[in-house]
Each structure stands twice: as C-alpha cells, then as structure tokens.
Amino acid sequence: MLTRREFLKLCAAGASVSLVSVLLPDLALAAKSGAIDKLPVIWIELGSCTGDSISLANTMDPSQKKLFSEIIDLRYHWLHMAAQDGQSVKALEDTVQRDKNRYILVIEGSVVTADQGKYNYILQKNGSLKTGIDMLKYLAEHARWVMPVGSCATWGGPAAAYPNPAGCKGVAEVIHRPVINVPGCPAHPDWTVGTLYHLINYGEPELDSAYRPKIFFGRTVHDRCTRRQYFENGIFARNPGEESCMYLLGCKGPVTYADCPVRQWNDHVNWPVEASSPCIGCTSPEFPDGMMPYFKHLPDIRLHGATAAPDRLAKALGIGTAVGLGTHLAGNIFTGRIGKNLISGTKPKASIVTKKTYPAKELEDKVDALLEKFDNLEQELTHARQKSRNKKGLIAKAKQLLGKDSGEETD
C-alpha cells in the first residue's frame, strides 16, 4: 500500500505512467487482503450526457473488468446494471438500508430544479415517479461521501448555460453537506479514480475553495503547458492548427486549474493544446458561459509585463486556494471583467457579474495589495499545515509500525 506522501507525489507527477494503472492494482490488492472493503458505489445520473460514465469506462489499465470485479461494488448505475425497473430500484434501496453511511454517492449531471424538478424524473418507487432532486437529497443524507463528477454535477456546467431553461444547478448548491467536486467536461478517469482512491485510503483529500482535490486541480493549465515556451517567446498562433501558443486564439489555460498538460487524455495520447486547439476551461466553475466565445482571448490586464498578467490573474481568481477574503474580492474583480469581456451576447450568471469598474492604476494597486495579503496568508497556512502534518505523520508512522508487526506475525 502506498503512503499518502507517495500517493500525492504520484498524482503530482502525472506524466509517463497512467495514474489509474499504478493505483488500481494496489487498491485491488488491499481489497483482496481485506485491509479495505470493496466500496459500495451508487452512481446516479441527473441532467447529464453520460460523458463522465463513458470517460470512466475509458480507463485502460486496469480494465473495466478489474474495476468492477476487484475494486468497487457498483450497486447502482443504470448504464451498466443487468437489472431494470423495480429490481434495479430495489438494489438501490437495499444499498441505502444495508450500507448506511458507508456508500459513496457519485452524481453525474446537473440537478434540474425548474418546476420542482419535474423536468427530470429518474425512477419510480412503489408506482410513484421520483424526481432527480428528491432522490439526490435522499441518497446524499445517508452517504459517507458525496462526489459530484463532471462539470454539470459540480456547478451546473453546460446544462446550466444561459438562459438555463431547466434551472440546472450544481450538487453543492442543492444539498446541505460537504462534497468533493471532480469537475471536467468530461472528468478524466484519473481524476475520478484517484479521488476515490484517496477517499478509501486516506479520507478526504485536501480541497480548494471550489471543493476540488488540489492534487489534480492545484495548478493552472498555463503553468505546466507543453507549449509554454512559445508563450514566453511571444510566438502566438493566428489560426487553429499552428504549432505555437494558443493564447490569442482564446486559450483559457491561464485561468483554468487542471493537470491536462502533464496527465493528458485517453491514457497519455494527446490533449487540446497539443492538438493545436485552445483550452476551453472545462474544469472552471464559470464553464461554459464564462469561457465563451471559445475563440476570444482573455482580457489583457497589464500588471507587470505580459507574462505576469495571466499568471497573476489566475492567482487572483482565488479558485485554486482555500484562503482568504482578500483573494475572494480580487477574484470578483477579475471574474467580473472576464464575464464582461467574454460573455458579450449571452447574459452571464449572476454570481460572476460585477457592475463596478476600476480604473487601471487603482486596480493594479488593489491587486498588488491583495496579492501580498494572500501570499502572507498562504504562508501562514503552509506553516499551520506543516505542524499538523507532523503530528499526523507521527500517528501514521506509529500505526504503520503496529501494522507491520502484526503482519509479520501472521506470516
């Protein structure tokens, strides 16, 4: 079994090997030896396109077979289960009764709220139709963890695009309990499986202010972009298909938190920027309205030189970090600007509209002050974390030693 530190290192490395392929055999071994139980998983689809299920099924190594037979107990998933109608609903109900506070609830698709949720029924129980929102609330109440997967489930996503005809919302806006968000359109299988792994073995992963695991969504796409050097050298593509920086074609990499450049897609085959197309920011809470038009580039906010601008902009958005009122405010300033610049034509979401405009100089000062404050806070937080980690580390070490002893005895 990997230690948490090793696990985090693996996640951060991203490249060269598939995360899933490294983790899952380990997880299967643990499940076999009885160290952990095969986890009951209930996977419900609300206002979705099934893309996240398909993406999960794209896990290559280990195969889908291993996933189902050795790693998780997929008790309810209407795309895969043999049973239908009453029998499938009974399987769902049995899991809730027998594995109360033990099962993981995975939600795919956004919560349809218009007309009391009547635009989306998902099953019948004792002859009466149940809406997606009612079932979500009921299932979330007894779940050990609630894990919205994909951008629709996390914050509404494409289903909630303006004018949001079905009143679609993210799961966290509807239920009153903590969630672990795994966004993406679709969510990368590594993100879904990696988060599950962390939940089973180490509990809840460290989350950012948007409840995303920092191990996958801690840095911007721009930060680790495979074409970063083109940006630094000022070589910008004017048309899709040119092998250079996609910034002027509307790339949202500078404000998007995800590890696509190192993880890449479909088992390390490719990713959008390497395919000479701009990133469309699908893991961001503002996706898709705040990221459209796809081919219009981010507002040029001149701070200290061209390179600094997008970096700082991203930092100031504050999505990647859990700290601070200050960053939150800065985030508003910038998201307000992004909203205005990018959504022309469609009405932006209420949460990302700020009417107030700041003159350039004033804005610059404000941001600098806020960033400084933010840096200080972050430093404090790091210290605090280190302290607590030391403590946790000792406990973990002690446990490990004890575990080893008992293991040797049985040998």
Q: Which of residues 91-130 bind another protein (CB under 8 A)?
A: 91, 112, 114-115, 118-124, 127, 129
Interface map 331-350 toward another protein (x if CB under 8 A): --------------xx----
* Lookup: tokens for 160: 């909630």
- Write down the least CB distance from residue 311 to another protein, Å: 23
DSSP state string for 240-284: TT-SSB-GGGT--GGG-B--HHHH-BTTTTB-GGGGT-----TTS
CA distance linking residue 28 with residue 333, whole number of Å? 47
Cβ closest to another protein, residue 11 vs residue 42: 42
Distance CA 187, CA 301 (A): 30
Within 234-263, the residues that bind another protein by CB under 8 A are: 238-241
Q: Which residues contact 270 (CB under 8 A, 6 or more apart)?
A: 264
Q: Which is nearer to another protein, 164 or 209 (CB)?
A: 164
* DSSP category for residue 160: G
Whole-number minimum distance, CB 308 to another protein, in Å? 28
State the minimum distance, in angstroms, from the CB of residue 221 to another protein.
Answer: 13
356 binds another protein (CB under 8 A): no
What crossing angle do the helices spanning 325-342 and 360-410 adopt, rounded to 10°? 120
Interacting span for another protein (CB under 8 A) from 50-58, 213-221, 367-375, 377-385: 50-58
Residues 388-407 that bind another protein (CB under 8 A): none
Q: Which is nearer to another protein, 69 or 351 (CB)?
A: 69
Contact stretch for another protein (CB under 8 A) within 68-76, 356-364, 366-374, 379-387: 68-76
Closest approach of Cβ 261 to another protein, in Å? Answer: 12
Query: Could you give the CA distance from residue 52 to residue 62 in angstroms, rounded to a whole number?
Result: 18
Whichever of 148 and 157 has its CB closer to another protein, that residue is 157
The reply on whether position 57 binds another protein by CB under 8 A is yes
Residue 129 Cβ, how far from another protein at the closest point, in Å? Answer: 7
Dihedral sign computed on CA atoms, order 89, 93, 98, 103: positive
Interacting residues with another protein between 138 and 197 (CB under 8 A): 157-159, 161-166, 168, 185-186
Piece of the chain touching another protein by CB under 8 A; list 201-209, 228-236, 294-302, 370-378? 294-302
| Interaction of residue 52 with another protein, rule CB under 8 A | yes
Neighbours of 178 (CB within 10 A): 11
Spatial distance between the Cα atoms of 7 and 280, rounded to a whole number of angstroms: 29
Residue 60 tokens read as 């290559």
Counting every residue written for the chain, the total comes to 411
For another protein, give the closer residue by CB, 79 or 402. Answer: 79
- Residue 378: both structure tokens together: 């972050």
Binders of another protein: how many residues, by CB under 8 A? Answer: 86
Smallest distance, Å, CB 387 to another protein? 40
Q: Which residues contact 68 (CB under 8 A, 6 or more apart)?
A: 74, 80
CB nearer to another protein: give 93 or 368. 93
Closest CA to 80 of 41, 109, 133: 41
Which H/E stretch holds residue 387?
helix 360-410
